[in-house]
Amino acid sequence: MKRVVARARLRVSLPGALTFAPGVACAHGLIASGNTAASFGWADEPWVVVLMALSMAAYATGYLRLRRRASPRSRSARVRATHLLAFAGGWVALALALFSPLDALSAALFSAHMVQHESMMLIAAPLLVMGRPLGVWMWALPRRMRMAVGGLVRTHAFSRCWRGLRWPLTAWLLHAAALWGWHMPAMFQAALLHPWIHSLQHASFLFTALLFWWTVAGEGARRQTDGHAMLSLFTTMVHTGALGALITLAPGLWYPLYVEPCSALGVDPLHDQQLGGLIMWVPAAAAYLVGGLAIAARWLSNRSAPALVTGQAAIVPRDGSP
């Protein structure tokens, strides 16, 4: 551990400015070498920018093609417009998490890193899922390519693989493993030091969160009842809250690489770690609770509707007379 900390040693060169010692690898936007002062500006990873732009362009193309196939006043058109708003909201939330100064600040503050991760998993991911992007993206493809992809999706090998991934228990386990695994000190600090590990960390957080929310609130929700969806949300709330509590109440530092950047910014490293754990413990757990309560309300309304219809049929005579 001392060797890792020594490699990531920071020094203060100007008031309020951070510089990295030569040879240090950093996975965030807060990068500098030699005497170059670090910056908290907007990030612009080219391959991430391209992927984000392609995803929005494909969704817009598919949406416009589907819109031309239905009446603007039809129910399907209104539902599709709601999906568009959800996808756009999730896209903006993801862009802010990945490109805004929050990304650079995450290199100096663990609490900022937690805000970034929770924004991806609890704001961007559910909104993107509610946007129903898979079908819309399919319609963005040319007709021949769309038919070819459709044929591939219907193959036995692909169907079997996708069936295993979309199983609610599989999604729950993958999301839990990503959360607990990447917050282990060795894994988290490796992501701070190596850009490719950091990219893998973010990709696993986003992918497992999308898969999890797809089984709870997306098209995959049809594979489980509302009761199972509530169970997934409440158990995730419990184990993420437990992880946040462990980080918050830890007597020592889990992530020593944050010692010197926090100190350079005038922030106590242990307090910063406690704040980051508290963010996962309370607001993040509350998001799962709100989702579970929303599904519970839907479940109760669906169960009460048939009872109301049955009750009306019992008190209204067959001939319609009072």
Q: Is residue 210 within 8 Å of 126, Cβ to Cβ? A: no
State both tokens at 312. 């009306």
| Residue scoring higher pLDDT (215 or 15) | 215
Q: Could you tell me which residues come within 8 angstroms of residue 9 by beta carbon, excluding any fewer than 6 positions away? A: 21, 24, 260
322: pLDDT confidence band, cut at 50, 70 and 90? Answer: very low
**38 DSSP 8-state letter:** P
Least confident segment among 95-99, 145-149, 246-250: 145-149
The residue count for the chain:
322
The predicted pLDDT at position 303 comes to: 65
- Ranking 50-59, 108-117, 161-170, 301-310 by mean pLDDT, the lowest is 301-310
The CA distance from 74 to 76, in Å, is: 5
Cα–Cα distances (Å) from 175 to 143, 183, 286, in that order, read 35, 13, 17
SS3 call for 154 = coil
Three-state SS for 63-132 is HHHHHHCCCCCCHHHHHHHHHHHHHHHHHHHHHHHHHCHHHHHCCCCHHHHHHHHHHHHHHHHHHHHHCC
For residue range 262-304, what is the model confidence (pLDDT) as tens digits? 999 999 999 999 999 999 999 988 999 888 888 888 777 766 5
**pTM for the whole thing?**
0.80
Whole-angstrom Cα distance, residue 234 to residue 226?
A: 12
Encoded amino acid at 265, one letter: L
